[in-house]
Amino acid sequence: MNQISERLASLSPSETLAMSQKSNELKAQGIDIINLSVGEPDFNTPDHIKAAAKKAIDDNFSFYSPVPGYMDLRKAICAKLKNENALEFTPDQIVVSNGAKQSICNAILSLIDPEDEVIIPAPYWVSYVEMVKLAEGKSVIITAGIDQDFKITPAQLEAAITPKTKALILCSPSNPTGSVYSKDELKALADVLAKYPRVIVLADEIYEHINYIGGHQSIAQFENIRDRVAIINGVSKAYAMTGWRIGFIAAPLWLAKACNKLQSQYTSGPSSIAQKASVAAFAGDQSCVGEMRKAFERRRNLVVDLAKQIPGF
């Protein structure tokens, strides 16, 4: 007898993880395969970050951590946001979670009621829609094709907003397209959103540093919507720390408190050792980030140049 809940029965498994599992199975059979499914740097975590984790073990950081994360990590995140993004946050606006995936899900579950609408530009990361489904909300998809560089326009955004719209999930640099919104493009979207004070923006910026067109721009920089933007980021992509499972939300205080309350009931604080490693990531030498980005760019250029040489492609 199957007594699984309707909530879970309606949920789809992650296509990304299913593809990754399939590639691992093929590798195990001895098949030469390149896995492009999971957004995972193939570099090892930098040595100074690993050293901080080893020190944390030796220093006996083996007890429960505060639900929103250690204060030194939240302060390091605030410093990162100020130094790299010119954004002012306080530690009580930061909630550290088991990866940016949980940070996004925390925010959606804290915001969305049944029938609330969440605008999601397409192409999109597969988990957004499923998280909205979990919250019993409704995803409103805006399709942005290659003709517009996979980026939605202000007119498209405005047309999608209804009295039921509660949130917009904006991912820049984008997973999966790689498109990056410019400051002017973000400003135009912010000017539309300024007219709809009920709409919260969840800005997924986890790929901030894997960016080949100059400095990252955050939609949180605009004064007219700043108090309604929640930034989601983490250590996985920039610092090659996918398995350490540390992400964070930097949000209006009321939303940070809600995410803290939710997280306190189903996972509590994330790994103490991974948090101490993440302090070293954010506060330490940043040259490793630039070196990995340059390597990714070289590979990207190689693939594009070779693809161009394929007849008819």
State pLDDT tens for residues 71-87.
999 999 999 999 999 99
* Structural domain contains residue 250: yes
Residue 13 lies in a domain: no
The answer to whether residue 39 scores a pLDDT higher than 90 is no
Q: Is the pTM of this model over 0.85?
A: yes
Distance of alpha carbon 206 from alpha carbon 209, whole angstroms: 8
Q: Quickly state the pLDDT bin for 36 (edges 50, 70, 90).
A: confident
Q: State yes or no: cis peptide before 270, omega within 30 of 0.
A: no
What is the rounded CA–CA span in Å between residue 193 and residue 161? 9
Residue 145 lies inside a defined structural domain of this protein: yes
68 falls within a domain = yes
8 Cβ contact list (under 8 Å, min separation 6): none
Does the residue 95 lie in any domain? yes
Domain of 150, CATH number, reads 3.40.640.10
The confidence score (pLDDT) of residue 263 equals: 98
- Please state the domain count of the chain: 1
**Tens digit of each residue's pLDDT (9 = 90 or more) over 94-142:** 999 999 999 999 999 999 999 999 999 999 999 999 999 999 999 999 9
Task: Name the band, by pLDDT with cuts 50, 70 and 90, for residue 311.
Answer: very high
Q: Is residue 31 part of a domain?
A: no
Both structure tokens of 184: 């002017």
2 has a pLDDT exceeding 90: no
- Residue 98: inside a domain: yes
| Domain span holding position 163 | 47-288
Q: Which residue is associated with the tokens 């990361």?
A: 125
For range 161-183, the mean pLDDT? 97
The verdict on residue 310 lying in a domain is no
